Amino acid sequence: MTHLITGNKFDPNTDIPDLSGKIYVVTGGSSGIGFGIVAHILQHNPAKLYLLGKKEEHIQWAQDELKKYGDTSKIVPVQIELEDLHNVDEVAKRLAKELHQLDGLICNAGLGVGVYNETPKDGIDSHMQVNFISQFHLTMVLLPLLQQTANSRLVLQSSDLHRAISDVQFASLAEINRDIGPTMLYNRTKLAQVLFVRAMARRLEKGELGFDANSHTGPWINAVHPGGVSTDQPKQAEDAYGKLASAAVAVLRPLMKDPVDEGCRPALFAATSEDIVKDKVQGQYIVPDRKVTEPSKQAKDEQLQENLWRLTEEILSDKLRSLPYRTQYVDPMAKEGLHGQPAGRQ
């Protein structure tokens, strides 16, 4: 990957190839980095671009602003509430039924550093549910589409803050539902995203979970770090930490990258660049703009990856009752007493 390491610039205005005929899904696409991702994909002529967002007014604003970048008739707006697993399930199943191909799924949506809350309908730490669990479910439902689309991409928007947390086991929901402080709540989700990318890439290499290890064409699965970006997430930190955070943000904001011009570059590189295929960039961690680098030691811990996968399946199975994809650890039949055994690895 010498080319990637020595050539670290990626200009989305000129370096994204023509995307004619391609279909993308972007979560959190109505503001910040997500809007930048959507804008630059639209700029390069995709067939369809599904913009998933939380608030109808934000989605409408984004559609109006996107007229500057391309043909907004290609935008398919989808309202999704990541704090409600049943809503996520409905949206995911709708997309799986509606789409015939999927060239890129970019899981960008996320809560920033903020106070501890549990989701009102599911009773899960909101950071973990929004930033990871809901998007894990969306990914798994759409995975067959990614697998059948040549050289498709799966991109998770992580952060270098995944390095700044320890003592995480992903052993139980009780562990997840502990208030470990605004910064650590965020950092834990960023670690989870890199763990998931690496666990998924291992399954691809082994030909598990519907992957064909001998004739791999997609997806190319990577996590990215956007760098320090000026979005609404610092406002969440201000709400969590008060005047001290406000002062820090005031000092740092002029140094932060613009989300539309720069913050979206690593995700766009991972989602669109032909170099991902040429250099076989799989299961990696990419920092601005296009540099593959080593994630934390924790992120490479295979047991921690499997703990996370198991716990996520257990939570989703408990909240949704049945999962429309092949599970790794939870036996959905056992829940109904059909297998006569407690849930365990299949």
One DSSP character per residue, 167-179 reads: ------HHHHTS-
By annotation, the residues acting in catalysis are: 186, 190
Dihedral angle sign, alpha carbons of residues 258, 259, 260, 262: positive
**Residues sharing a CB contact under 8 Å with residue 22, sequence separation 6 or more, in sequence order:** 46, 47, 103, 104
Tokens linked to 177: 């539902």
Question: What length does the chain have?
Answer: 346
The pLDDT value recorded for residue 336 is: 57
Asked, for residue 342, whether it belongs to a domain, the answer is no
Return the amino acid letter for 79. Q
- Residue 226, judged by CB atoms within 10 A of its CB (0-12, 13-18, 19+), counts as buried
Q: Which bin fits 283, alpha (ψ -120 to 50), beta or left (φ > 0)? A: left
Q: What is the residue whose two structure tokens read 């990215």?
A: 224
CATH number at residue 212: 3.40.50.720
Asked, for residue 108, whether it belongs to a domain, the answer is yes
Mean pLDDT of the chain: 89
Q: Which bin fits 174, alpha (ψ -120 to 50), beta or left (φ > 0)? A: alpha
Neighbours of 205 (CB within 10 A): 13
**Total number of domains constituting the chain:** 1
Alpha carbons 31 and 58: distance in angstroms, whole number: 7
Range with lowest mean pLDDT among 179-193, 241-255, 331-345: 241-255
Asked, for residue 193, whether it belongs to a domain, the answer is yes
Give pTM, 2 decimals: 0.89
Tell me: pLDDT of 253 over 50: no
**Residues sharing a CB contact under 8 Å with residue 129, sequence separation 6 or more, in sequence order:** 82, 83, 85, 119, 122
Rounded mean pLDDT, 131-147: 98
The pLDDT value recorded for residue 242 is: 61
Q: For residue 241, name the pLDDT band (cuts at 50, 70, 90).
A: low
**Residues sharing a CB contact under 8 Å with residue 289, sequence separation 6 or more, in sequence order:** 8, 9, 10, 265, 266, 269
Asked, for residue 345, whether it belongs to a domain, the answer is no
Domain residues for the domain of 284 are 2-335
Rounded mean pLDDT, 188-216: 93
Report pLDDT digits (tens) over 56-87.
999 999 999 999 999 999 999 999 999 999 99
The pLDDT value recorded for residue 229 is: 46
The pLDDT value recorded for residue 239 is: 63
Tell me: pLDDT of 39 over 60: yes
Asked, for residue 343, whether it belongs to a domain, the answer is no
Q: Give phi and psi for 52, each to the nearest 5.
A: -100, 125
Tell me: pLDDT of 345 over 60: no
Asked, for residue 341, whether it belongs to a domain, the answer is no
Q: Following DSSP, what letter does each residue of 142-192 receive, concatenated?
A: HHHHHHHSTT-EEEEE--GGGGS--------HHHHTS---HHHHHHHHHHH
Asked, for residue 72, whether it belongs to a domain, the answer is yes
Alpha carbons 102 and 47: distance in angstroms, whole number: 11
Alpha carbons 141 and 104: distance in angstroms, whole number: 14
Asked, for residue 128, whether it belongs to a domain, the answer is yes
Q: Give phi and psi for 152, each to the nearest 5.
A: -70, 170
